[in-house]
């Protein structure tokens, strides 16, 4: 039995997509970041920080999306979604896992400042401007480096799953059309059957209340 603890549009989408690519059967338990469901004792016993994803996998409990993705790739090596230790693309793959979290941390802080803070706790316009600039720089660096259909020379991999998740959230903060290579790359990924199956199971997000969050005027 495999159970994914999931919030729609959260990092747990990475795990859902990867499992679809591997071809695993799993059930999903849905949560919301707004209704307190991630603070109940049963969930906190699985996730020390009270965050998704959590994956219950054949009697074991795994948390943190990067760790789960790597564990799944190593548990199911026949899927060929992560280079083996010692192979040419291994270091690059691990670098991209971490780079994906660099982007993820910027997005998390933008979420905190522009989505979850409410008056009288007004967010700092200067902080938002800085975070937005760093996000654009991180995406711009990948725009310049992307030269093939996928991030690794060996083809589609878990590195693509990890990194491209950032586009799901970045579109709420930056104009992604200024990165044509990245957007063509994301279009290729979104056409994959595994991605389409994952999005069909993702659920309705309740994180964002508007389509775009601009940098505040005067920042």
Residue 120: the pLDDT is: 67
- Could you report the per-residue pLDDT of 12-61, keeping only the tens digit for each? 999 999 999 999 999 999 999 999 999 999 999 999 999 999 999 999 99
Domain boundary among 14, 48, 79: 79
Q: Quick one: the chain helix, strand, coil %, rounded to 5?
A: 55, 10, 40
Task: Looking at the structure, tell me whether residues 188 and 134 fall in a common domain.
Answer: yes
For residue 34, give Cα distances in angstroms to 38, 64, 107, 115, 123. 9, 20, 18, 11, 19
pTM for this model (two decimals): 0.96
Q: Quick: pLDDT tens for 168-204.
A: 999 999 999 999 999 999 999 999 999 999 999 999 9
Q: Do 112 and 70 have their domain in common? A: no
131: its two tokens: 């975070």
Task: Identify the helix (H) or strand (E) that includes residue 28.
Answer: strand 27-30
Amino acid 117: pLDDT:
87
Can you count the helices (H) and strands (E) in the chain? 8, 4
Domain that holds residue 28: 2-79
Same domain, 114 and 67: no
CATH code of the domain containing 182: 1.20.1050.10
What is the CATH number for 46? 3.40.30.10
pLDDT band at 218 (very low <50, low <70, confident <90, very high): low
């Amino acid at each position: 039995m495999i159970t994914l603890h999931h919030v729609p549009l959260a990092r747990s989408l990475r795990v859902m997509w990867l499992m679809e690519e591997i071809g695993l059967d799993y059930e999903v338990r849905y949560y919301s970041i707004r209704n307190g469901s991630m603070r109940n004792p049963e969930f906190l016993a699985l996730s020390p920080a009270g965050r998704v994803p959590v994956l219950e996998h054949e009697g074991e409990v795994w948390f943190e999306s990067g760790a789960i993705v790597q564990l799944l790739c190593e548990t199911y090596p026949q899927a060929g979604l992560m280079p083996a230790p010692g192979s040419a693309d291994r270091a690059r793959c691990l670098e991209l896992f971490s780079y994906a979290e660099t982007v993820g941390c910027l997005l998390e802080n933008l979420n905190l400042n522009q989505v979850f803070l409410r008056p009288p706790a007004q967010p700092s316009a200067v902080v938002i401007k800085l975070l937005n600039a760093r996000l654009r720089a991180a995406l711009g660096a990948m725009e310049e480096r992307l030269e093939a259909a996928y991030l690794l020379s060996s083809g589609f991999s878990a590195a693509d799953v990890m990194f491209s998740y950032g586009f799901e959230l970045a579109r709420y903060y930056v104009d992604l059309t200024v990165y044509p290579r990245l957007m063509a790359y994301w279009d290729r990924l979104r056409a994959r059957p595994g991605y389409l199956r994952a999005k069909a199971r993702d659920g309705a997000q309740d994180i964002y209340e508007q389509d775009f969050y601009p940098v505040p005027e005067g920042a």
